[in-house]
């Protein structure tokens, strides 16, 4: 059994840890409001842009004049998985859920005989992916030291992805991130980036003749790269909100667990102390009776 000094030291240590987790919970809660507002504000624009691109793509189809980002390379042998992670831990299963979704997709593609490559954003997912898929990380984007990952970083990431696509490094690209639902729920999500997926549920035309100036191909040539950047930007914003929500929940659980542990250690400490006092009293009484 631990001594009174050891038990007291453990209680002091757990109390110090509890103060840290409580402070981190409050910081995450404060950051969550801003991150959630940014993620929710970006959704309407990103969704509307997707619908516009889908509408134009439905008119262009897979013609010879269609942009390569829409028509694709004509094959799907090599897939690039763009995995968005964070640089920090202490956020529960936030990073591991994203990596798990990407891993499952990679294993599914490999089972179909496809080649899988990874483009990693953030540090937390790298060790696991490097261990599971050695030699398959084609590039990575460093976010260390960047306080708020925003549109500028999304533009750099999309530019690199499109550069790899134009160079023929892959045929299909997928994006993985954590979609923010609430502080208690974050959903690991994957979506196809390149080529732009076939339009689904595009509203039927009202029958009115619509003329585009310039033509649909020229508009898509401008909108498709922008759409890729916006989708990555949306993923980064969703990740930021999800990370703070997961961190707040994890730190709240850690704070409550520390409180439970302190109570248990305090009970053990009091019992041990009482046992020591009782033993001393018995020795004193036994000594007095022996005189």
pLDDT tens series, the chain, 291 aa = 678 888 888 889 988 988 898 988 888 888 888 888 888 888 888 888 887 777 777 666 655 566 677 777 778 888 999 988 888 778 888 888 898 998 998 888 888 888 888 988 888 888 888 888 888 888 888 776 566 777 888 888 888 888 888 888 888 889 999 888 888 888 888 888 888 776 555 554 444 455 656 666 677 777 888 888 888 888 888 888 888 888 888 898 899 898 999 999 899 888 888 888 888 888 788 877 776
Q: 93, exposed or middle or buried, with CB in 10 Å at 0-12, 13-18, 19+?
A: middle
CATH 1.10.287.80 domain span(s) along the chain: 4-19+252-290
Strand partners, 178: 188
For domain 33-248, the CATH superfamily is ATP synthase, F1 complex, gamma subunit (3.40.1380.10)
Sheet holding 78-84, edge to edge: 137-141, 115-121, 78-84, 172-180, 186-194
- The answer to whether 88 touches 251, Cβ cutoff 8 Å, is no
The pLDDT score that the predictor gives to residue 206 is 44
CATH numeric code, 4-19+252-290: 1.10.287.80
CATH 3.40.1380.10 domain span(s) along the chain: 33-248
Q: What's the rounded Cα separation, in Å, for the pair 172 and 53?
A: 18
Strands (E) located in the chain: 78-84, 115-121, 137-141, 172-180, 186-194
The model's pTM is 0.79
Strand partners, 82: 119, 175
Q: For the CA atoms of the chain, what is the radius of gyration?
A: 28
């Amino acid at each position: 059994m631990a001594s009174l000094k050891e038990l007291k030291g453990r209680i002091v240590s757990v109390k110090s840890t509890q103060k840290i987790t409580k402070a981190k919970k409050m910081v995450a809660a404060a950051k969550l409001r801003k991150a959630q507002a940014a993620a929710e504000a970006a959704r309407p624009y990103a969704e509307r842009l997707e619908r516009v691109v889908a509408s134009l793509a439905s008119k262009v189809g897979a013609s010879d004049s269609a942009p390569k980002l829409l028509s694709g390379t004509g094959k799907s042998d090599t897939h690039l998985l763009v995995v968005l992670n964070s640089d920090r831990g202490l956020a529960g299963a936030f990073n591991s859920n994203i990596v798990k979704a990407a891993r499952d997709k990679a294993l599914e593609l490999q089972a179909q005989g496809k080649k899988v490559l990874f483009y990693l954003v953030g540090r937390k997912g790298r060790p696991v992916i490097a261990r599971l898929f050695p030699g398959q990380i084609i590039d990575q984007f460093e976010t260390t030291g960047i306080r708020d990952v925003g549109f500028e970083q999304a533009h750099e990431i999309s530019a690199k992805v499109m550069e790899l696509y134009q160079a023929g490094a892959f045929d299909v690209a997928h994006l993985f991130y954590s979609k923010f639902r609430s502080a208690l729920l974050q959903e690991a999500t994957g979506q196809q980036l390149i080529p732009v997926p076939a339009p689904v549920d595009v509203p039927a035309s009202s029958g009115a003749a619509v003329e585009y100036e310039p033509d649909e191909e020229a508009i898509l040539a401008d909108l498709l790269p922008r759409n890729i950047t916006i989708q990555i930007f949306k993923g980064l914003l969703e990740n930021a909100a999800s990370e703070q929500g997961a961190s707040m929940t994890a730190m709240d659980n850690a704070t409550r667990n520390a409180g439970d542990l302190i109570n248990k250690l305090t009970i053990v400490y009091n019992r041990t102390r009482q046992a020591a006092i009782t033993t001393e009293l018995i020795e004193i009484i036994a000594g007095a009776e022996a005189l």
